[in-house]
Amino acid sequence: KAGVTQTPRYLIKTRGQQVTLSCSPISGHRSVSWYQQTPGQGLQFLFEYFSETQRNKGNFPGRFSGRQFSNSRSEMNVSTLELGDSALYLCASSLGTGINTIYFGEGSWLTVV
């Protein structure tokens, strides 16, 4: 079956703009989480959604937000982009209940200029 799908794969934005990234989880998975990967900070947890509710949140400013739809697809939004937001944004999905295997997508590369 199809894996975790993220769109767009690559994008360039200007400082001050906003961006929306999309994630389609593996079929049947109800939990979607987002991670930011940068050379300096490594992989950092942003937030997790389960059944359209935010279940966990990492230590990021309020400019980073997300949501999940009834079909488990998720979007994350970053407003007022800063140069430091340039990163690979990874989406992960799992069944969501109990202890589950967590699968990652290929990521969305965001460059802020």
Closest residue by Cα to residue 31 from 3, 57, 68, 64:
68
Length of the chain: 113
Per-residue contact flags (x/-) with other proteins for residues 53 to 92, judged by CB under 8 A? --xx-x-------------------------------x-x
Verify binding: residue 36, other proteins, rule CB under 8 A: no
Verify binding: residue 45, other proteins, rule CB under 8 A: yes
Positions in the binding site for other proteins (CB under 8 A):
4, 6, 31-33, 35, 42-45, 48, 50, 55-56, 58, 90, 92-94, 96, 98-107
